[in-house]
Amino acid sequence: MFAVLRGTVWRFVSYTPPLRYTKFDAAFAIPALQENLNACSNLKRMERIVVKSPADGSVVGEVAVTPPEAIEAMIARAHAAYLHWREVPMHQRVEPLRRLKRLILQERHAIAELVAREQGKPRIEAMIVELFPPLDVSAFLMYDGVRLLQPRRVRSKNPFFSDRRSTYYFHPYGVWAVIAPWNYPFTIPMTQLMALTLAGNAALLKPSPLTPLTGAKVVELFERAGFPEGLVQVVQGGAPQGSALLANPTVRGVIFTGSVPIGRTVAEQAAKTNKKVILELGGKDPALVLADADLQHAAQGIAWASMVNAGQTCASVERVYVEQRVYEPFLEALRAELAKIRLGHPLHAETDMGPVVARFQRERVQRHIEDACARGGRIVLGGRIRADLGELYHEPTLIADATDAMLGMQEETFGPLVMVQPVASAEEAVRKANASAFGLTASIWTRDPRKAQRLAPMLECGSVSVNSHIVAYGDSYGVWGGVKDSGVGRTHGEFGLYELVQPQYVSEVYTGKPELWWYPYSARVHRITDWLMAFLASPSLKMGGATARRLLPELRYLTRHFTPLKMTGGLLRYLR
């Protein structure tokens, strides 16, 4: 009886989902019919997820679903690992990170192939967009991250604390939930987990049920790199497993990357136990093509930024506002660039764009195209499903003469569709770009740096690229995150790193002097405070002289509380 009980408990505690890959067979090219598994509430009861490739329907592998009731024990293990890990000096935390980076590079082919098969982006694209960011983030963390997380002196100018020495310490939160989407199944959780662990946290990754194999691979790499046992674990499943993580009070923070409605639910659930919440949500990125732009360059860049990952990128260019004067030549240049995109199987070397991940994605693209056509939009290129390649292959599609009311100009399309609208001026382009519920990133295409620098801060979004797009994600010094419905908080770079720690302020004084404001409150303290404030309220030479004359006899009294000379600089700052 005891042995059975122990076996059951052990199964939950030591839960690691098995990975089973099947060899890719190019001849096995049936269209995949994957549904959005998130919507599938029976993930609570389901025991396994069988992953079928969106590229050809072949079985890529399967994972065991984590029973929600097993999650508490996993969190307890992560917490135990965290208690040990937070004491590990920073220079030692870097060692497994270094090994992790090497492992990623050594296994680049296997990772790229897994992502290509499981999610559908071409293998070369997977290598570039899924593996470069972790490489750059690990370098950022090893150099700047270590420096930024060191205790730091506070350069306070407050005159009343001039006898003190103050320091910031950066403490980890503890256990985090990392809830990830399917569109960048490797780079998103990998970079988030790298930063979380360097900062001393533990984390449980819950990948999307559409890409559980890549999620399992991410965690496997952490384990092989030598991070402490239990520090980074994987929870497989969907909403029930996500909710179980969010309900647990030991989980102190969540980085959620996904859609706006689920992001709201996540924030609501997290609020019940006061967790730190970072939300990386959807986008409807605009590109502003100004009349002086290099049109060929802009067309080439926007073709990539709108179709990378079959348009399933939070920061895809979905709306293009073009100054009227160059509207037609730009359209033609963009059409020509999009027409060159080679749609095909993600494992073929000559493929630029693979399938969309599932039928629900394809249907949304079709809905936006039909709506645009019904409202006077003009299909310049594409518009159809390439059934000859498979059910999930959708042509890169360009719609001209878009209007504000079209669904494709309002809702996130998240597919291979780009819509173009003429505008009268750069200012109108900015107004239209900002007239959106989203605000993730934007781009400006111009040859004039002064114009770009004037317009960029006017755009309501988390980052702006000039003559390129999505730069902030690739540059680990760039800050990543959105405004409005696109999210809350930041990841990446200095600001992203500080989101993962709790700054602590420590103030020390050893003069033994009682603070001026301690009991007993006296008429004298009242007078001194009042003179000082009266002078600061309307500073003038005359008032300054009067205050100095009044304070002079109090100097001896004041030195019982402060070192007046040290205060002078700080007091002068109050004069401004």
Catalytically active residues are 280, 314
Hey, CA dihedral for 550, 552, 556, 559, is it positive or negative?
A: positive
Binding mask 25-54 for ligand NAD (x = CB under 6 A): -------------x----------------
Q: Does 266 bind ligand NAD (CB under 6 A)?
A: yes
Q: Does 209 bind ligand NAD (CB under 6 A)?
A: yes
Q: Does 259 bind ligand NAD (CB under 6 A)?
A: yes
Please answer whether residues 463 and 472 qualify as being in contact, where contact means their C-beta atoms are separated by less than 8 angstroms: yes
In 3D space, the residue among 140, 128, 227 whose CA is nearest the CA of residue 496 turns out to be 140
Instruction: Provide the greatest CA pair distance for the chain.
Output: 96
345: phi then psi, degrees, rounded to nearest 5: -65, 135
Partner residues linked to 378 by β-bridges? 400
Q: Does 444 bind ligand NAD (CB under 6 A)?
A: no
Tokens representing residue 7 in the block: 């076996």
Q: Tell me the CA distances in angstroms from 323 to 257, 328, 403, 408, one per residue in order.
A: 34, 10, 14, 20
Within 246-372, strands assigned E span: 251-257, 276-280, 285-289, 317-323
Partner residues linked to 175 by β-bridges? 202, 251
Q: Does 502 bind ligand NAD (CB under 6 A)?
A: no
Q: Does 283 bind ligand NAD (CB under 6 A)?
A: yes
Secondary structure of residue 401 in the 3-state scheme:
coil
Binding mask 365-404 for ligand NAD (x = CB under 6 A): ----------------------------------------
CB of 392: closest distance to ligand NAD in angstroms? 15
Q: Does 176 bind ligand NAD (CB under 6 A)?
A: no
HSE-CB at 416 with a 13 A cutoff on CA atoms is 30
CB of 373: closest distance to ligand NAD in angstroms? 24
Please answer whether residues 154 and 168 qualify as being in contact, where contact means their C-beta atoms are separated by less than 8 angstroms: yes
Q: Does 182 bind ligand NAD (CB under 6 A)?
A: yes
Q: Show contacts with ligand NAD in window 108-147 (CB under 6 A).
A: none
Q: Which is nearer to ligand NAD, 188 or 389 (CB)?
A: 188
CB of 259: closest distance to ligand NAD in angstroms? 3
Interacting residue with ligand NAD among 73, 90, 124, 262 (CB under 6 A): 262
Tokens representing residue 553 in the block: 């006899």
Q: Which helix (H) or strand (E) holds 83?
A: helix 71-85
HSE-CB at 78 with a 13 A cutoff on CA atoms is 31
CB of 269: closest distance to ligand NAD in angstroms? 6
Q: Does 189 bind ligand NAD (CB under 6 A)?
A: no
CB of 484: closest distance to ligand NAD in angstroms? 12
Please answer whether residues 40 and 242 qualify as being in contact, where contact means their C-beta atoms are separated by less than 8 angstroms: no
State how beta strands 202-206 and 175-179 pair: parallel
As a whole number of angstroms, the distance between CA 34 and CA 417 comes to 21
As a whole number of angstroms, the distance between CA 488 and CA 116 comes to 30
Please answer whether residues 257 and 180 qualify as being in contact, where contact means their C-beta atoms are separated by less than 8 angstroms: yes
Q: Does 280 bind ligand NAD (CB under 6 A)?
A: yes
Q: Which is nearer to ligand NAD, 96 or 207 (CB)?
A: 207
Binding mask 308-337 for ligand NAD (x = CB under 6 A): ------x-----------------------
Q: Does 488 bind ligand NAD (CB under 6 A)?
A: no
Q: Does 212 bind ligand NAD (CB under 6 A)?
A: no
# binding residues, ligand NAD (CB under 6 A): 31
CB of 184: closest distance to ligand NAD in angstroms? 6
Q: Does 446 bind ligand NAD (CB under 6 A)?
A: no
Q: Which is nearer to ligand NAD, 191 or 446 (CB)?
A: 191
CB of 383: closest distance to ligand NAD in angstroms? 23
Q: Which residues bind ligand NAD (CB under 6 A)?
A: 38, 179-184, 188, 206, 208-209, 238-239, 242-243, 257-259, 262, 265-266, 280-283, 314, 412, 414, 440, 482, 487
